[in-house]
Every structure is written in C-alpha cells, then in structure tokens.
Amino acid sequence: MSEGELVIPVPQEWASRAKMNAAAYEAAVQRVEADPEGYWTELAQRLDWIKFPTKIKDVSFNREDFHIRWYEDGILNVSVNCLDRHLAERGDQTAIIWESDDPHIHTFMTYRELHAEVCRMANVLKAKGVKKGDRVTIYLPMIPQAAVAMLACARIGAVHSVVFGGFSPDSLAGRIQDCDSKIVITADEGLRGGRVVPLKANVDEALKECPGVTDVIVVRRTKAEVNMVPGRDAYYGDLKQGVSDQCDPEPMNAEDPLFILYTSGSTGKPKGVLHTTGGYLVWASWTHEVVFDYRPGEVFWCTADIGWVTGHSYVVYGPLANAATTVIFEGVPNYPTNSRFWEVVDTHKVEIFYTAPTAIRALMRDGDEPVKKTSRKSIRLLGTVGEPINPEAWLWYYKVVGEERCPIVDTWWQTETGACLISPLPGCTPLKPGSATRPLPGVKCQLVDADGKVLDGATSGNLCLTDSWPGQMRTVYGDHERFISTYFTTYPGKYFTGDGARRDADGYYWITGRVDDVINVSGHRLGTAEIESALVGHEAVAEAAVVGFPHDIKGQGIYAFVTLKADVAPSDILQADLKGWVRREIGPFAAPEAVQFAAGLPKTRSGKIMRRILRKIAENDTSNLGDTSTLADPAVVDDLVQNRVG
C-alpha cells in the first residue's frame, strides 16, 4: 500500500465469516489458471441441471472463428433454479418483500406463493400462444409482478425484454420493433415519489408504431381508468382467473437466450444485449453469493429498477437463485422524506443494501440527520454500482450510513458483463475509497493504450478483458456483426469495455469512466448519438452535438450544442422546448442540463465534430482547448466559449 493512502482493513468478523476469505480468493485465482475446466465445472454445480454439462467452455474472441459458449450441452430451467428447488426447505420463507411508494403499504410473498404466481402467469402467456424463443416485452413499475413476469417467461422459454418504465413511448416502440415482440406486459399506471407514470397510455402511444403486437396484458396497480383496446388488451387479473398454478418448466439449453436488454452505445440505436441461460445464472448467482457474502434467508435490498441490468441480476435472478429474501422497492430515496431508504431498512431489517453513487451523493447533500435518526443496525454490508463513486461520498456512506461497521463493495460491471467483474469481497479485500479494487477470480483484466499496447504494473489505460466469463453477453440481438465490431475490433482478440481505468501498485483498479461517447447520468447510460438524433428530429434544429460534463449529484450531466435552421431565431422558449423534446423523445432522465445555441460546431476539414473541444467548453475548462489548428473554421470556438451557458 502506498504511504498516506487510506486503506480500510478487512474486519475480523468478516474474515472469519466469509466463504471467500483471502485464502479462498488466492486459491480460486490459482485454480482457475491451473485447472480452468475443473474450476468452471465446480461453479456450475451451484445450479440444478436437468442435464449437467460436459462441455464447459468454448470461446474465441478472434474474428475468424468468433464464438462464446459456456456449458453448451447443459440443460436447465432458470425459474426452477429460482423457485422450485427452494420449495421443500424454504417454501414458507419470504421471497419478495414489496415496499410500495406509499410507506404504509408493503406486502410479502413466500417462495410457494411466488412459484404459484409465476406458474399462473406462465400459463396465461401460453394461452396467448407464447412459445419457447418468442420475445415478450415487459414495461412494468417496481411491483412483484415484474419479477413474476420475468420468471414466467423463463419458465416457458420465452425471451423477455424489460424496458425501464422511465422510457418514452418512442423508446419503447423502438425496443418492441427491434426484437419483434408480439406481447407487452404493462400496468395501468406506475407510482413513484407520489407521481403517476402513465404506463398504459405510453404503451398505447408506442403501439401506434408496432402493428405486430397482438396482445397487451395489463396489471392493475393504481386501478385508474385506462383505455383498453378490445381484442388486444386484457387485465391480468381477469386472464388468470381459474388458471392452474402448476406449469411444467421448459427444458432449456444452457446457450438458449434468457433475455434481451437494450443498452446505449457510442453510435446508432440502442443495442439488444442478449444473455443466455446457463452461464448467466451461474455468474449472477455466484457473484451475488461471494460479493455480498450472501447466506440463504438474509434480507437483501438492491434499489435498482428491474428495467436495468442491476435489477435483473441483483433484484431477481441472483438473489432468488440463492434463496434470498429480496426487496422490491417502488419508490424513490427522498419520498415522502429523505430518510426513506433507512426507514425501509429498519422496517424490513435489511442486512445487505446495494445502491448507486448518485443516490448517495443526493442524500449526502441533505446532511447526516435524516440518516442518524434511523437505527440501521440490521445492515452488515453496503454496496454501490453503476458509476464511479468519489471518495467523499464513499466515506460518507461508510461513516454515516454504515457507522464504520459495514464494508462497502464498489462493484464494477456492465449490462454486457451480466454481473459483477471487479469488486472487493467483504472477507478478503482491504478497501480503498473510490476503487472497485480487484477482479473476481477468473476475470482477466488488462489495460492497453490507444494503440493496443499492453500496459503493465501501476498505470492508466483502456480496460479490456482478455478472456470470457460465464455471464458475458453472447450477441447483439439480430446483429451479430455489430456485437463483434463494437466490442472485439478496437483491440482485436480482446473485449473492450469502453471504460478507462487506473491500476495502482497493489493491482487495484480505479475506474475513471467511459472513454467513448457514452454518458452516465445518475447511473443511467445514454449514447450521445441517441440524444443528438432526438434533437435533430426537432423541426428547429439543423445539427446537434452532445457531450457529458461533471455533475455534483448525477455524476455526469448532458450538455447539448445546437445549430438552428436558417430561418429559426434562438430564444429561451426554444431552449426549454428542446429540453422538453428530449424528455419526451427518450425519457425524463435524458433531458439535457444545458442547451447552447451555436452558429457552428467545431469540425475538422473532413467534417468530423471535435468533441474534445466541446467537452472542455461544457466543463468550463476553456483555458487550454488544445490544438485547434486542424479545425475547418477555428473562429467557431471563440463563439462557443463566449456563449457558454450555465
């Protein structure tokens, strides 16, 4: 450890309790080197297989013979692993605690009840003609039926595509069209922070552009009157009347698709990240166990929405595969008060709490009192995910929320990676505030420079993974070539994460953030291209360039440079209108913080926008804009600097 650096040692209690202590970590790291087949075979034994795999790993990251296969002759069903196998011993244990937006309303569902409900929903889907391999779009709020719908798809071999309830009708339509789903499961309305989210109305709007959708299943959440299209729409409550609570699970090959989840990249439309059955569940459940040192029956709360991968892996699949009691929280951290998180922790005796740095920073701003007035004594472990956490926020989380009792696991991963790849292990890893620390056993990280030269030792570079892990995405739905070209061609033969990182002398990784044109706003991932494409869709806009800039709470904010069509005059009204436009086109979380009207954008002579310069202007770091001599018209920069907004 370098001198003067803050390092928090592993508490004795964790060193002796944790299954993955320092010795076990070292042993696993060595074993996976010496005997990868044996190591990965053992990992698969944590699941119940109909047929245990004999072919364990078959991977090539080289374009000529590119393929990724894990456990390829294994047969299993994910819902059986998350439900049926727990029934004998834990049928009466609470599987899901649902904490509604209203702090007075919460419900509990046992494993037996969840199993029955999943089977009913599976039978309803079957009755609608859904078969193995069909795509089902799920657009639901954070209610138990969201998990039920995912598991029901898994039970019958349908491929779910969950779309976050904060996405606009247009974004929803694009996702439905891309995977060609014929069925949408939604709710009348959602409720978040006391505000209504018009989910069914959004679906109606989206479906104007999705003629292929034959059925909409509507879960009643608020019981509001909503438009129901005869022949297309039906209430789930009606459909499930008299339906059997038994449903034979579909035997699935390990490499059959489990779900698609759309995520943003630096170019083009969002990509349908496809995860398969066996490897994904092995990785989600194993990481859930070792990263959180999870024991069956403990109350685990991941605050992420199931519309993001964090919700898939750590609200639903990982915890339920491990017989957890998982909390599904419908609300927001500051409603009705900014003590809400900690009150929920106290109400349900939450032992492990996992959230995003943006939430921590927002709560930190409100001071210690809203935290300190709650007990929180049930919490043993804290986690963060989704974006870099600044040491100040880390320390506040550690000292004020965790009272210096609870280790913090800062978990680095991506939609593409399925589950955690770099993270401390509570019984093993001394912590450094702001570092995701070390790769999990079997995860092969490498830092390279812009030319792909491998960098050794303490250094900074672009983060690559040189070998596969079971939870890796397998393809971009419908566009395998895009999968290969996006992730495996920048540095041939390696998976490029899109992140930059520093590695210190102890081999700890410090993720510095995206090095591509992806922006992370409050842990929500957005492509600059997507926002630009929304902006140029507005009748007043000729051209747009979007960059991220550092934001105290959100991590990054969105800054848009817009040139208007010749006959349009800039105005404050238009500025507000454009922000609202992006909100409606993509979703509220995508609204730009700043819109600057520009006479022209800085371009090279070949017409490429120089985002480096725009980033500097957005950051208000205009003293050193670097070399502008290659610009077609260097004068535009002065104009941009002078008219900077905010």
Residue 192 marked in a binding site = yes
Q: Which residue type occupies 388?
A: P
Q: Is 272 in the site for ligand WT7 (CB under 6 A)?
A: no
Residue 538 marked in a binding site = yes
Helix axes 169-179, 572-585, angle to 10 degrees: 30
Q: For residues 74 and 402, which CB has a smaller minimum distance to ligand WT7 in the complex? A: 402
Q: Is 547 exposed, middle or buried (0-12, 13-18, 19+ CB in 10 A)?
A: buried
Cα 628 from Cα 173, distance rounded (Å)? 41
Residue 412 marked in a binding site = yes
Q: Is 263 in the site for ligand WT7 (CB under 6 A)?
A: yes
Q: For residues 257 and 388, which CB has a smaller minimum distance to ligand WT7 in the complex? A: 388
The binder of ligand WT7 chosen from 181, 355, 414, 528 (CB under 6 A): 414
Place of tokens 């919460």: 106
CB contact at 8 A, 146 and 194: no
The binder of ligand WT7 chosen from 151, 217, 436, 631 (CB under 6 A): 436
- State the nearest-atom distance from the C-beta of 231 to ligand WT7, in Å: 37
Residue 541 marked in a binding site = yes
Quick one: which segment of 21-29, 236-244, 404-412, 546-554 binds ligand WT7 (CB under 6 A)? 404-412
Looking at residue 591, the DSSP 8-state letter turns out to be -
- State the nearest-atom distance from the C-beta of 482 to ligand WT7, in Å: 16
Q: Is 513 in the site for ligand WT7 (CB under 6 A)?
A: yes
User: What's the CA dihedral at 601, 607, 609, 610 to 10 degrees?
Assistant: -100
Q: Is 452 in the site for ligand WT7 (CB under 6 A)?
A: no
Cα 357 from Cα 306, distance rounded (Å)? 18
Q: Is 520 in the site for ligand WT7 (CB under 6 A)?
A: yes
Token output for 437: 């620390």
- State the nearest-atom distance from the C-beta of 519 to ligand WT7, in Å: 10
Quick one: which segment of 89-97, 199-207, 371-379, 412-420 binds ligand WT7 (CB under 6 A)? 412-420
The binder of ligand WT7 chosen from 169, 386, 418, 587 (CB under 6 A): 386
Q: Is 412 in the site for ligand WT7 (CB under 6 A)?
A: yes
The binder of ligand WT7 chosen from 74, 157, 470, 498 (CB under 6 A): 498
- State the nearest-atom distance from the C-beta of 357 to ligand WT7, in Å: 8
Q: For residues 336 and 513, which CB has a smaller minimum distance to ligand WT7 in the complex? A: 513
Q: For residues 287 and 520, which CB has a smaller minimum distance to ligand WT7 in the complex? A: 520
DSSP annotation string for 298-316: -EEEE-S-TTSHHHIIIII
Alpha-carbon 162 to chain mean position: 11
Please enumerate in sequence order all residues whose Cβ is within 8 A of that of 387, keeping only pairs 6 or more positions apart, or say none. Answer: 356, 357, 358, 513, 520, 523, 555, 556
Residue 243 marked in a binding site = no
Q: For residues 412 and 581, which CB has a smaller minimum distance to ligand WT7 in the complex? A: 412
Q: For residues 186 and 437, which CB has a smaller minimum distance to ligand WT7 in the complex? A: 437
How many Å from the N-terminal Cα to the C-terminal Cα in the chain? Answer: 41
Q: Report H helices in 101-228.
A: 111-127, 144-156, 169-179, 199-207
- State the nearest-atom distance from the C-beta of 424 to ligand WT7, in Å: 10
CB contact at 8 A, 244 and 258: no
Closest by CA position to 47, among listed 275, 252, 300, 285: 285
Tell me, residue by residue from 33 to 72, as one string, x for binding to ligand WT7 by CB under 6 A and - for no binding.
----------------------------------------
Q: Which residue type occupies 28?
A: A
Token output for 327: 């909390």
The binder of ligand WT7 chosen from 170, 188, 233, 387 (CB under 6 A): 387
What are the C-alpha distances in Å from 223 to residues 144, 218, 373? 16, 10, 35
Residue 380 marked in a binding site = no
3-state SS of 363-425?
Answer: HHHCCCHHHHCCCCCCCCEEEEECCCCCHHHHHHHHHHHCCCCCCEEEEECCHHHCCCCECCC
Cα 53 from Cα 72, distance rounded (Å)? 7
Q: For residues 250 and 305, which CB has a smaller minimum distance to ligand WT7 in the complex? A: 305
Q: Is 101 in the site for ligand WT7 (CB under 6 A)?
A: no
CB contact at 8 A, 144 and 328: yes
Q: Is 470 in the site for ligand WT7 (CB under 6 A)?
A: no
Q: For residues 216 and 558, which CB has a smaller minimum distance to ligand WT7 in the complex? A: 558
CB contact at 8 A, 139 and 146: no
Residue 165 marked in a binding site = no
3-state SS of 426-476?
Answer: CCCCCECCCCCECECCCCCEEEECCCCCEECCCEEEEEEECCCCCCCCCEE
CB contact at 8 A, 132 and 250: yes
Q: Is 415 in the site for ligand WT7 (CB under 6 A)?
A: yes
Tell me, residue by residue from 280 to 319, as one string, x for binding to ligand WT7 by CB under 6 A and - for no binding.
----------------------------xxx---------
Closest by CA position to 179, among listed 167, 164, 194, 163: 163
The binder of ligand WT7 chosen from 499, 530, 585, 593 (CB under 6 A): 499
Binding-site size for ligand WT7 (CB under 6 A) equals: 23
The binder of ligand WT7 chosen from 140, 203, 316, 385 (CB under 6 A): 385
Q: Residue positions in the annotated binding site for CoA?
A: 192-195, 310, 334, 522, 583
Bind-site residues for Mg(2+): 536, 538, 541
Binding-site residue numbers for ATP are 386-388, 410-415, 499, 514, 525
Footprint of ligand WT7 on this chain (CB under 6 A)?
Answer: 263, 308-310, 385-388, 410-415, 436, 497-499, 511, 513-514, 520, 525
Binding residues: 192-195, 310, 334, 386-388, 410-415, 499, 514, 522, 525, 536, 538, 541, 583
